[in-house]
Homo-oligomer: A and B are copies of this chain.
Amino acid sequence: CCSQDIDHILETQSALAVDLGGTNLRVAIVSMKGKVLKKFTQPNPKTYEERIELILSMCKQAIAEAIRLNCRILGVGVSTGGRVNPQDGVVLDSTKLINEWSGVDLRAPVSHALHLPVWVDNDGNCAALAEKKFGHGKGVENFVTVITGTGIGGGIIQHGELIHGSTFCAAELGHIQVSLDGPECSCGSQGCIEAFSSGLALQREAKRLHDDDVLLVDGMSVNNKEQVSAVHLINAAHHGNPKAKAVLHTAGTALGVGIVNILHTVNPSLVILSGILAQHYEGPVQQVIGRRALSSTRDVKVVTSDLEEPALLGAASMVLDYATRRIY
């Protein structure tokens, strides 16, 4: 849509996509082809009232922009951290990163204020929907997305549909446990792949090595204002630091074993890694699958996502798929 050479009505159909993360609140206009036509970003407010108000005002701003761009907005899709009942459009539990965000009906106020249909799902599930419509998951019946960012999340597609589970808690892949003891996890358990392999876990280990003065090797420095992070750990490993290498080896093994467990449970034909650490983990995960998966599941393809905005695109895909299902 929105360019002179397009004349078909279908191509002017667009979605408003809302992404509620621990840090930012983002609203975008996304075209039927998965192009982010316009994006608005604000810090995610700390209270329910401010947050709802900001969602509505950013959406109204985006709708005005859509009119200017000659896009027809079919509805609003919301991706949020936490556990979501997508049938009712309700956030059941929030993650620790978003305050005042449990038992929140998102559909009613947004739909009422904007006069548009509203769909909501959690960020991991939205990432899987994005892959299905716009990414490596196109046309794939059974696949899994594992997002390795600050935390670890994911989504599972079976027979072309998301698995939500009996309490909308399926695909909590970060809390697959690969050690009977192992590091403590934010969820209260231990040995979760999030506690071994997430950005926060790598940062924890980087800090531990830095406190022991064994992180930095020749040619590396951390200035005082800079937070020690996963990047320093990966850098140190590349520079030959054996302790950093050992930490990353364990992190890759843990993530790989977690993914082997997914293979032995739902047996997908494709695993898509996304998030900031995806590229880094692709090789280690493939190696662990080769060593530890049942031979009949080993043909699974493991790839790194090439979507830039999985949460926004997934939020948009709910609108683009479900709204047009109703209309046509």
Contacts and interface: CB of A to CB of B under 8 A. Distances in A.
A264 B191 CA distance: 14
B172 A266 contact: no
Interface of A: 83, 92-93, 141-142, 156, 158, 163-173, 175-180, 187, 189-191, 250, 253-254, 257, 260-269, 291-294, 296-297, 299-300
B294 A172 contact: yes
A224 to B, nearest CB: 36
A169 B296 contact: yes
Contact of A176 (B92, B169, B261): B261
Given A261-B261, A291-B189, A268 B166 contact: yes
A175 B266 contact: no
B179 A166 contact: no
Given A177-B261, A180-B254, A260-B177, A163 B266 contact: yes
A165 B257 contact: no
A267 B167 contact: yes
B297 A180 contact: no
Q: How many copies does the complex hold?
A: 2
Nearest to A300: B166
A53 B296 CA distance: 28
Nearest to A176: B261
21 contacts: A83-B296, A158-B163, A164-B267, A165-B297, A167-B267, A169-B267, A169-B296, A171-B264, A171-B265, A171-B267, A172-B264, A173-B265, A176-B265, A177-B178, A177-B260, A178-B179, A179-B179, A187-B294, A189-B292, A261-B261, A265-B265
Contacts of A158: 158, 163
Contacts of A173: 264-265
Given A169-B263, A169-B267, A176-B264, 4 more contacts: A156-B266, A170-B266, A178-B178, A191-B257
Contacts of A177: 178, 257, 260-261, 292
B296 A180 contact: no
B92 A169 contact: no
B156 A142 contact: no
Nearest to A141: B166
Given A177-B261, A261-B261, A296-B92, A267 B142 contact: no
A250 B180 CA distance: 9
Nearest to A265: B265
A265 B265 CA distance: 8
A264 B176 CA distance: 6
A77 to B, nearest CB: 22
Given A179-B179, A250-B180, A254-B180, A156 B296 contact: no
